[in-house]
């Protein structure tokens, strides 16, 4: 199908050989060793550090850039704000997903790291916010952000269908709720919110 050649290092003599990618078995041109493609761990995709950097730099944009999202939490305005929040966070979570999927052995460690990054940026954002002049004002602000997280960003992450779409929100909920026991959230989906509006659960 393709004539793609890949470069491998012979496991017997250590020299570099060029082999058609579709060959399952071949011999080294130099030493004649019988080699099998399956023995070469060719990664499906290579990890790109730019993905990690991008994901960490933008992981809190979905909160930071949507300070008034909680005010749009009604049947009429929810969908548009949900879509905007989803568009905002998709590139960061897609980058996170690529970075994690390229390193399956480090999956749990990397998920913890991203959740940790989210939480430390969450802390810095609210501590440094101009409206957080008192403890009471900061708690109010964190409550508003939590609504954005619970009703927009978490359902949006889950709607992306990525490998991290369930793992990240669940781990974030566990770590977040342990850290902020008075500002807990549960993992909801877009369907939960939409049906909540239909059933009049959120009507003011």
Distance CA(201)–CA(180), nearest Å, equals 25
CA angle (133 as vertex; 127, 137 as ends), nearest 5: 85
Instruction: Give dist(CA 61, CA 73) in Å, integer.
Output: 19
The window from 10-18, 79-87, 99-107, 168-176 that contacts Zn ion (CB under 5 A) reads 10-18
Residue 30 near Zn ion by CB under 5 A = yes
**At its nearest, how many Å lie between Zn ion and the CB of residue 90?**
46
For 201, phi then psi, to 5°, come to -65, -35
| Per CB under 5 A, 202 contacts Zn ion | no
* Residue 21 interacting with Zn ion (CB under 5 A): no
Element (H, E) at 122: helix 107-127
Q: Does 13 bind Zn ion (CB under 5 A)?
A: yes
Is 157 a binding residue for Zn ion by CB under 5 A? The answer is no
Q: Does 35 bind Zn ion (CB under 5 A)?
A: no
Alpha-carbon span 29 to 12, nearest angstrom: 11
Q: Which of 28, 96, 111, 157 binds Zn ion (CB under 5 A)?
A: 28
- Rounded to 5 degrees, what are φ and ψ at 200? 75, 15
Q: CB of 23: closest distance to Zn ion in angstroms? A: 15
Give 33 or 132: the residue with its C-beta nearer to Zn ion: 33
Which residues bind to Zn ion, rule: CB under 5 A?
10, 12-13, 28, 30-31, 33
């Amino acid at each position: 199908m393709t004539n793609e050649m890949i470069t491998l290092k012979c496991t017997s003599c250590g020299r570099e050989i060029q082999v058609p990618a579709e060959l399952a078995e071949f011999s080294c041109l130099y030493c004649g060793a019988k080699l099998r493609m399956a023995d070469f761990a060719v990664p499906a995709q290579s990890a790109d550090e730019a993905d990690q950097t991008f994901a960490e730099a933008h992981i809190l944009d979905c909160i930071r850039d949507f300070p008034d999202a909680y005010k749009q939490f009604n049947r009429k305005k929810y969908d548009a704000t949900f879509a905007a929040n989803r568009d905002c966070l998709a590139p960061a979570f897609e980058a996170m997903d690529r970075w994690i999927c390229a390193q399956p052995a480090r999956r749990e460690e990397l998920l913890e790291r991203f959740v940790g990054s989210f939480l430390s940026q969450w802390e810095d954002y609210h501590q440094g916010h101009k409206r957080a002049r008192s403890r009471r004002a900061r708690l109010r602000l964190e409550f508003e952000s939590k609504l954005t997280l619970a009703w927009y960003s978490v359902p949006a992450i889950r709607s992306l269908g990525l490998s991290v779409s369930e793992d990240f929100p669940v781990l974030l909920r566990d770590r977040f709720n342990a850290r902020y026991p008075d500002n807990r959230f549960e993992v909801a989906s877009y369907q939960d919110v939409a049906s909540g509006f239909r059933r009049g659960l959120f009507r003011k």
